[in-house]
């Protein structure tokens, strides 16, 4: 692939990621679910699928283990995440989303969905269809890159 094509891909990725994070997914979590942040939402989302060790969670979120531990600690204090020693290896700690965590995650997802829905309301049906198709394509490409 030519460098100019790669440059164009990179430029588009940067623009899209900025728009997605700063405009479309921009939310104020102030006063909502104990002031949880986007990274808290990401942690809760990962742990809602399965219990994980700190190392597994850090890898899934592309963080270092100390960074991950730093952001998990407040969730433990809030009763959203629990730590449980692994039975056959006490050096490992499993992280588990609590019932309170599942409830908070559900509430946050509803708030995010409503916010995105409001922002997308200004688009035409055709624009929404094109956006949906483009996002499906990006997701398929991302899945291939993750292999």
pLDDT at site 10 = 84
- Under DSSP, is residue 51 helix (H, G, I), strand (E, B) or coil? coil
Residue 146: pLDDT above 50?
yes
Instruction: Name the token pair of 18.
Output: 């900025």
Most confidently modeled of 4-8, 29-33, 69-73? Answer: 69-73
Percent of the chain with pLDDT over 70: 90
Give residue 132's Cα distance to chain centre: 19
Give the separation between CA 89 and CA 59, rounded to whole angstroms: 20
Comparison of pLDDT for 6 and 73, the residue scoring more = 73
Side-chain half-sphere CA neighbours of 132 within 13 A: 8
Instruction: Name the token pair of 45.
Output: 């989302």
Comparison of pLDDT for 113 and 20, the residue scoring more = 113
Q: What are the Cα distances from residue 107, in Å, to 27, 33, 55, 85, 114? A: 13, 8, 27, 29, 11
Confidence of residue 31 (pLDDT cuts 50, 70, 90): very low
Instruction: Name the token pair of 143.
Output: 């899945």
What is 31-113's CATH topology?
Arc Repressor Mutant, subunit A (1.10.10)
Instruction: Name the token pair of 19.
Output: 């728009």
Asked if residues 75 and 81 have their Cβ atoms less than 8 Å apart, the reply is yes
Q: Centre a 10 Å sphere on the Cβ of residue 119 and count the other Cβ atoms it contains.
A: 13
């Amino acid at each position: 692939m030519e460098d100019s094509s790669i440059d164009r891909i990179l430029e588009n990725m940067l623009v899209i990621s900025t728009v997605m994070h700063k405009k479309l997914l921009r939310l104020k979590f102030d006063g909502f679910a104990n002031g949880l942040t986007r990274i808290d939402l990401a942690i809760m989302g990962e742990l809602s699928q399965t219990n994980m060790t700190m190392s597994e969670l850090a890898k899934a979120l592309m963080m270092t283990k100390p960074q991950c531990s730093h952001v998990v600690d407040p969730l433990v204090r809030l009763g959203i995440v629990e730590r449980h020693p692994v039975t056959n290896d006490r050096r490992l700690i499993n992280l588990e989303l609590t019932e309170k965590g599942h409830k908070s995650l559900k509430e946050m997802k509803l708030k995010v969905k409503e916010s995105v829905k409001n922002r997308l309301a200004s688009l035409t049906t055709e624009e929404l269809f094109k956006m949906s198709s483009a996002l499906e394509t990006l997701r398929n490409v991302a899945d291939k890159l993750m292999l």
